[in-house]
């Protein structure tokens, strides 16, 4: 009986330790990947994302969006306005709890 409890506790301990080890190994892999140099494709991808981010901040919205995009956006907003009522649909709603 005591032996069975000890074996049960040891199996629980092993499973807990294995979970923590897997988590720590996973986190350390992420840390090591951030410290090493990126490969050229990843670097190019990140550079393009950063470039788009600066262009969208300068333009104040989507980059290289034509009049068709603006027309579709206005139609979608009008449809949502009819379906859900008033308010600015381009902003996140503010909640006030009392």
Q: Who has greater pLDDT, 95 or 17?
A: 95
What are the extents of the domains in the chain? 8-58
Is the model's pTM score more than 0.85? no
Name the one residue in this structure whose structure tokens are 């294995």: 18
Q: Tens digit of pLDDT for each residue in 13-71?
A: 667 766 665 666 666 666 666 656 778 888 899 999 999 999 888 887 777 888 898 89
Contact 38, 46 (CB under 8 A): yes
Q: What is the dihedral of CA 32, 43, 51, 54, to 10 degrees?
A: 10
Contact 56, 63 (CB under 8 A): yes
Per-residue model confidence (pLDDT) at position 50? 92
């Amino acid at each position: 009986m005591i032996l069975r409890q000890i074996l049960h506790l040891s199996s629980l301990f092993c499973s807990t330790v294995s979970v923590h080890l897997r988590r720590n190994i996973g986190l350390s892999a992420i840390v090591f990947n951030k410290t090493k140099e990126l490969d050229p494709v990843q670097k190019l991808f990140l550079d393009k994302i950063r470039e788009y981010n600066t262009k969208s901040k300068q333009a104040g919205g989507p980059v290289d969006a034509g009049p068709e995009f603006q027309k579709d956006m206005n139609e979608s907003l009008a449809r949502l306005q009819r379906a859900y009522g008033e308010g600015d649909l381009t902003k996140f709603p503010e909640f006030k709890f009392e």
